[in-house]
Amino acid sequence: MKESKAKKISARLLKVGTSKIWINPADGKKVKEAMTKEDVRSLIREGVIKEKKIDQKNKKRHLGRKKGRGRGMGKRKGTAKARIKTKKRWVQNVRALRKKLKEIKKIGGLKIPYRKAFLMVKGGFFRGKKHLEATVLGAQK
């Protein structure tokens, strides 16, 4: 198999990125002869393929970052919206709107059917909770 393919498979096995994989250049022939994922596993056990360690210069910083150091306001670039993935933001919004819709349903007095409102939430019709209330309850509030 190609060296790049072996790198991808071994990266997945070792749970690191492809840039963190080292393949011994002297044993290139063994890598080329490997055909399956199991072959790659055996090469890892033999030490032909290894995971590169974090270089000492960045190790302290890397470990600190894992703990949450250096992630304050001064290090942030981009708006809060840009930093949160769009799907995650959508899920948060939809969950909040569905919760609000259930509360409104419990109180009663829906101007439109619950199911229709639920699907409107799913489709992204409402801008927020106030918009949901105004549309579903009508001009009562």
Domain ranges of the chain: 3-56, 81-137
pLDDT tens per residue across span 63-120: 999 899 999 999 999 998 898 999 999 999 999 999 999 999 998 878 999 999 999 9
- pTM greater than 0.75: no
Distance CA(73)–CA(54), nearest Å, equals 26
Using the predicted structure, report yes or no on whether residue 140 has a pLDDT greater than 70.
no
Instruction: Assess contact for 111 and 137: CB atoms under 8 A.
Output: yes
Does the fold of domain 81-137 match that of domain 3-56? no
- The domain made up of 81-137 has a fold known as 1.10.1200
Distance CA 23, CA 21 (A): 7
Q: Check if CATH label 1.10.1650.10 holds for domain 3-56.
A: yes
Determine how many CB atoms are found less than 10 A away from the CB of residue 6.
22
The mean pLDDT value of the chain amounts to 92
Q: Give 21's strand partners.
A: 51
